[in-house]
Structures are given as structure tokens and as C-alpha cells.
Amino acid sequence: MKLRKFASLLCALAMSAAAFSGQAFASETDTSQEVVVTMPVSSEPASGFDPVYGWGAGEHVHEPLIQSTLVRTTTDLGIENDLAVSYSCSEDGLTWTVQIRDDVKFTDGEPLTASDVAFTYNNCRDNSSVNDFTMLKEAVAVDDTTVEFHMNEPYSIWPYTMAVVGIVPEHAYDENYGQNPIGSGRYIMKQWDQGQQVIFEANPDYYGETPKIQKLTVLFMEEDAALAAAMAGQVDVAHTAAAYSEVTIDGYSLMSVDTVDNRGFNLPCTEPQEIDGIVYGNSFTSDVNVRRAINLAIDREAMIDQVLNGYGSVAYSVCDKMPWYNEEAETAYDLEAAKALMDEAGWVEGEDGIREKDGEKAAFTLMFASGDSVRQALAENTANQLRELGIEATTESVGWDTAYDRAQSDALMWGWGAHTPMELYNLYHTMEDTGLAQYSPYANETVDAYMDQALQSNDLEESYELWKKAQWDGETGITQEGDIPWIWLCNIDHLYFVRDGLKVADQKIHPHGHGWSIVNNIDEWEWE
């Protein structure tokens, strides 16, 4: 059956490729300085190329290309200067001072000054629809090359915010900026055909090294259309999925990029209670031994082979591979140890193979987002594996309109992963209104305290140790020996078909979202 389906898929794609071969694309790709790349339709910025409304940030974090940022992340996720020549934080953590270059101009010829930086950040503070700027009190231009960020509270990871906020020109900013952006970055947006493509050309006045690729055309396509375009030879890089990884395309090779684009599911940690009409907690998953048993009973390597055709890495945390990751999160698959934990907790196997305790079945619902075939397959694989433990996980397709509320009492297959420790904070730190974590009911005062201390530090690298302690300090935390409120399964490799002869520059670990990250360093790519 699998081979027949695969053959049918190839036939359909071949027909699509034939159709593509007759279409005219925005750019010929036989020159030495042009590249055509496909991205998922969801990667097209709905509000345009405006940092205030999410360009460069949010779920698909990337370097904004058109605009410059104060700093940027390195391949090992350290911080290096871009517009900034230096930055420092006050002893109390409430003032960040940044010195910027004095030789940068926007593409309309006007100089970029600290006033533009302050304007950008104050605008983000007041209007950002994606990034959180509640920690920022005010950005102030001290002079043309010095900007101060006055904070409402210490925020040690501020450099990671500075790495994704593109600087816009105060003199040329209005409500239509996102459709006709002016920046000082490596590229200029020359053409945007909404719903189809966007074309970038190298900025001839860029203050850094001259980009090797002078023209980038991005085509927004679904995976099957991207594959068909590659089969027709119409693109240079086509995003793809593990389901298509066995396809062979003449003149192309498959490239796999390491990611922290993780998948996992929450396990509500509290007993059921109702707050403002929403049920929080789950009587079965509130048992910590149940959560620990589930974590041990999942063979992640087998799951990656079966669901992702091997294109993934095991996940134990929302921050695998990051500088603030605590290796104490790692566990080995051990079904027998998982069964012993269930036995210890009083869950006895029934005649149907499903465990019971005090008349309650060892069962829970595992939801996945409608239309997401990978999350569905991971959910079903999880359910199959947990049956060996004597747990019945019933998978259910849900829409995001109800998923967030339902995840307060049921498990949901999520996708996360970002180049900032705030991902950890957002999942595990309690909120003032409920006293529970945001996406799934959980609370641990010690975990909260470590994360609060990490944010209050005035040294970014020193704060990493506090983020690690929030995960596990030897006595408590969110790992296997601790509360284990989330079960992490895998990090999904980002796959691309790349035309022979194109050298894609080394990629930093991609965050969640199979989109713009691939072209972060497009200026370093070259044709061999």
C-alpha cells in the first residue's frame, strides 16, 4: 500500500511539474548572482514587511533582510554587533545603553541615527502585535549615535530582542510602510505580488560586505507545489517535508537543517477546577508518576524513524541545543521502568490491557491541530506506544479556536522553539491572574524564582545558569525527576531540495517555522 501511494504521489507531482514547466517565473536562475527560493504560504507576512507587526519576529524568527538590527545572533546563538558598535547594561538592569555606527544610511539616502532606533522601539512598545515589549519603559536618543533603553523591570535577555527588531526610518514611516519598506539592510524589497512572490535586490549602499547573491526571489507555495516547481527546474531551493524525502530530483540534492522546531504535548498537572468558565486540570495526568511514566515509555528514535523518515532529533526540552539547555532533561526509553512507576502509583492493568485505579481508567485525550498531518501522525504514534504501557490516549483533531482553552484540561500536540529563553518562561512560569502557567496548568514557586532571577541578571551569559536551574536544580524542576509538565518528542529537521552547484551557507539552528530562517545568510550563498 505504501509503495502504491508513493507511486501515485510521484505521478501527480510529475503532472504538476509538467504544468509548471510552461509557467514564467519572476527570475531566471542561470545567472551567478540570483536565487529563487520557495517558502510555505504561511510565511508571507500578512501585515507586510514592518517589524512592528511581526516581520522578523514571532513564530518565524529571522533576520529581517530589509532592515538592520542592533545586533544579531551567531551560528552558536551568541550575540554579535550589527548596527551597534557596543552595548552595556546598568548595574540595576534598568538601563541598556547602545552605541551605533555613524556611517549607515537608509535606502532613500537619509542617515540612520539613534532617533530612528528610539522611534522604532517606542513604536513597537505601543503597537507591536507579536513581540512582547511590556518590559520597555522608553527608548531615548541621547545623541545621534547613542540610544538608551529604560526598562520597567530588569530583562537580561534584551539582546535577543535587539537581534530581531529591524530599524525603520522615522521620517518615512506611516501606515503603509509594510507595503513599501525603506531600510538599511542587506537587501531592498523591489516587488511584492501578494499571494505569489516577493523580490529582493542587494542594497548597493549597504555598510557591510557586498552580498554575493544580488537578487532573491521568494515564491510562496504549498509543499506539493514547491516540489513540482523543483521537478520542473524552476526554482533553486524548494522547502519540503519528510513525506517527500524519498523523492529523487535530477539536478537537486536534499539538504537537512538542524532545528529547535520541536513537537511535544502538555500534561495538565493540577486536579480539575473551573476558573471563569474554563476547566483547568486533569485527574489522570495530575499524578506525577503518570507523567514520569509517559515520558519514559516513548521511544523517540522509533517515532522519528516512523513519522519523519529519520529526519529529526530527539527532544527532551523546549530549548534543546540552546546555550541555556540543561542536559539533566535527557532520559532513555525504558518501558519496564515506566510500568514500574504506574504500578507504584496504583494503576493496575485491566482485562482490556488498560490500567485502572479506583474505578478510573488510565486514559486521556491527545489533541492535534486540524490539517497538520505531522502532528496527527505524532499523536497517533504516541497513542500506539502508550498502549504498551496500559494507557489509552484518544487522538482528536481540533481547531485553534478551541484548542487553547481545551489544553487547560486535555493534552495537545504543540510546536515551539525559539532563539530566546523566553520560550521556557512562557511555557512554565505562572501568570498573576490564575496562578498557573499560560498554556497548561502548572505551578512551581522555585522554578518561577529561578526564571525571575535570570531576567533580573545584568549579565546575559551568567543568566544562562539560572535558566538551567529552572529546568532542574538537583531537587526540583521540570525534568523527569521533577514535575515533568510537558512531554517533548522531537525536533523536526527542515528539509530543502537544493539545485546542484548552489552552495548554501552554513545555517544556524532553525527555530520553529519552516520559512525565512533559510535565507538569514542569503548574502553569503554562492554558485560554484
Contact 440, 264 (CB under 8 A): no
pLDDT at 78: 86
Cα 520 from chain centroid? 14
Residues 6+ apart with CB under 8 A from 1: none
pLDDT at 300: 98
pLDDT tens per residue across span 174-206: 999 999 999 999 999 999 999 999 999 999 999
Contact 314, 300 (CB under 8 A): yes
Question: Is pLDDT of 19 > 60?
Answer: no
Residue in the block written with cell 541615527: 113
Residue 24 pLDDT class (50, 70, 90 cuts): very low
For the chain, the first-to-last Cα distance in angstroms comes to 41
Question: Is pLDDT of 272 > 70?
Answer: yes
Contact 395, 376 (CB under 8 A): yes
DSSP 221-288: --HHHHHHHHHTT--SEEEE-GGGTT---TTEEEEEE-B--EEEEE---S--EEETTEEE--TTTTSH
Residue 432 pLDDT class (50, 70, 90 cuts): very high
Question: Is pLDDT of 9 > 60?
Answer: no
pLDDT at 487: 98
pLDDT at 514: 85
Residue type, 36: V
Mean pLDDT is lowest, of 6-20, 141-155, 165-179, 239-253, for: 6-20
Contact 73, 160 (CB under 8 A): yes
Smallest CA-to-CA distance from 419 within 54, 57, 39 is with: 57
**DSSP 8-state symbol, 504:** P
> What mean pLDDT is predicted for residues 44-55?
89
- Does the predicted model carry a pTM greater than 0.95? no
> What mean pLDDT is predicted for residues 294-300?
98
Q: How many Å apart are CA 132 and CA 122, to the nearest integer?
A: 12
> What mean pLDDT is predicted for residues 218-244?
97
Mean pLDDT is lowest, of 2-16, 91-105, 364-378, for: 2-16
Q: Which residues pair with 240 in a beta bridge?
A: 495
Contact 244, 5 (CB under 8 A): no
Q: How many Å apart are CA 348 and CA 90, to the nearest integer?
A: 58
pLDDT at 443: 98
Mean pLDDT score of the chain: 92
pLDDT at 22: 41
**DSSP 8-state symbol, 522:** G
DSSP 463-491: HHHHHHHHHB-SS-BSSTTTT--EEEEEE
> What mean pLDDT is predicted for residues 382-386?
98
Q: How many Å apart are CA 237 and CA 53, to the nearest integer?
A: 27
What nine digits make up the cell of 166?
529591524
Cα 470 from chain centroid? 21
pLDDT at 128: 86
pLDDT-above-70 percentage for the chain = 93
Cα 208 from chain centroid? 28
pLDDT at 239: 97
Q: Maximum distance among all alpha carbons in the chain?
A: 78
More confident residue, 1 or 463: 463
> What mean pLDDT is predicted for residues 138-156?
97
Question: Is pLDDT of 21 > 50?
Answer: no
Contact 368, 376 (CB under 8 A): yes
pLDDT tens per residue across span 276-291: 999 999 999 999 999 9
pLDDT tens per residue across span 476-504: 999 999 999 999 999 999 999 999 999 99
Q: What angle do CA 129, 206, 218 make, to 5 degrees?
A: 55
Q: Alpha carbon of 126 to those of 50, 130, 323, 475: distances in Å? A: 14, 12, 31, 41
Length of the chain: 528
Residues 6+ apart with CB under 8 A from 176: none
pLDDT at 58: 53
Residues 6+ apart with CB under 8 A from 411: 265, 266, 267, 268, 285, 364, 365, 366, 367, 393
